[in-house]
Amino acid sequence: DAKTTQPPSMDCAEGRAANLPCNHSTISGNEYVYWYRQIHSQGPQYIIHGLKNNETNEMASLIITEDRKSSTLILPHATLRDTAVYYCIVRVGHSGYSTLTFGKGTMLLVSP
Amino acid sequence: EAGVVQSPRYKIIEKKQPVAFWCNPISGHNTLYWYLQNLGQGPELLIRYENEEAVDDSQLPKDRFSAERLKGVDSTLKIQPAELGDSAVYLCASSLDGAVGGEQYFGPGTRLTVT
């Protein structure tokens, strides 16, 4: 699976949008971009995934550049409960069979 | 729907002692994973099961670690003997074959401290 690069930490004010970047310049055509997050003392939680098109669900939006070399996870109205480590992962296919390879992620701190 | 259940949540043991962790996946999920997470790092896969078969155990240190998933449901991960460097969080996850997103659902983990 392709490697990803994320900033180690980011800050965001409560109620504002949090934009978390991820670089995956060596991504292959059959690799999907996944985002998970891990709140303190909990296991990772799936957020969203995409291949080429932008995606949105109840938790977040995923913007993937046209060349697919980078992406941005957007939390439109961050709350204190969004404070967590966010992992950007690229993986072949999207079945449960392919491995999730976690990096160190981005520690997002949402402040009042 | 109940999530992935793990027990115990915390375990403190002395080095050279054995320890075991238990995981009950989400009902109907036939793929089960064990991950190791060191402080400040992301989780690393130890072993993956498809039903009762271990299909990827390449990262499992087989000299001291063992795992089983009898009947393709619950799973147990064992360390014998434990070493100081085994102090970490052990996470269990499960997923549903063929699911469109292939998401993995994680339990809360077992935090192991070896003294």
State the DSSP string of A41-104: TS--EEEEEESSS-EE-SS-EEEE-TTSSEEEEEETT--GGG-EEEEEEEEESSSTTSPP----
Query: A interface mutation test: which of B89, B104, B110 has the most A CBs within 10 A?
Result: B104
In chain A, the residue whose alpha carbon lies closest to the alpha carbon of B43 is A102
- Specify whether the CB–CB gap between B54 and B45 falls below 8 A: no
Nearest to B48 by CA among B81, B27, B23: B23
A18 pLDDT more than 90: yes
Residue A103 touches partner B, C-beta closer than 8 Å: yes
Say yes or no for a CB contact (<8 Å) between A104 and B40.
yes
pLDDT given for residue B83 in this prediction: 97
Quote the radius of gyration of chain A (alpha carbons, Å).
13
Segment (H or E) for A48: strand A45-50
Q: How confident is the model at residue A61 (pLDDT cuts 50, 70, 90)?
A: very high
- Specify whether the CB–CB gap between B25 and B95 falls below 8 A: no
Closest-CA distance, A51 to chain B, in angstroms, reads: 11
Which residues from chain A sit within 8 angstroms of residue B98, using beta carbons? 95-96
Ramachandran bin of A41, using left for φ above 0, alpha for ψ from -120 to 50, beta for the remaining angles: left
Instruction: Express each pLDDT in A62-107 by its tens digit.
Output: 999 999 999 999 999 999 999 999 999 998 765 556 678 899 999 9
% of chain B at pLDDT higher than 70:
95
Residue A99 touches partner B, C-beta closer than 8 Å: yes
Say yes or no for a CB contact (<8 Å) between A95 and B99.
yes
Quote the radius of gyration of chain B (alpha carbons, Å).
14
pLDDT given for residue B70 in this prediction: 84
Which residues from chain A sit within 8 angstroms of residue B103, using beta carbons? 46, 49, 96
In chain A, the residue whose alpha carbon lies closest to the alpha carbon of B4 is A43
Residue B84 CA to residue A70 CA, distance in Å, equals 39
Which residues from chain A sit within 8 angstroms of residue B49, using beta carbons? none
How many pairs of residues across A and B have Cβ atoms under 8 Å apart?
A: 63
pLDDT by residue, tens only, chain B of 115 residues: 689 999 999 999 999 999 999 999 999 898 999 999 999 999 999 999 988 999 889 899 999 999 999 888 999 999 999 999 999 999 999 998 755 567 899 999 999 999 9
Burial of residue A58, with CB atoms counted within 10 A of its CB: 0-12 exposed, 13-18 middle, 19 or more buried: exposed
Nearest to A24 by CA among A57, A70, A61, A64: A70
Q: How confident is the model at residue A30 (pLDDT cuts 50, 70, 90)?
A: confident
Closest-CA distance, A95 to chain B, in angstroms, reads: 4
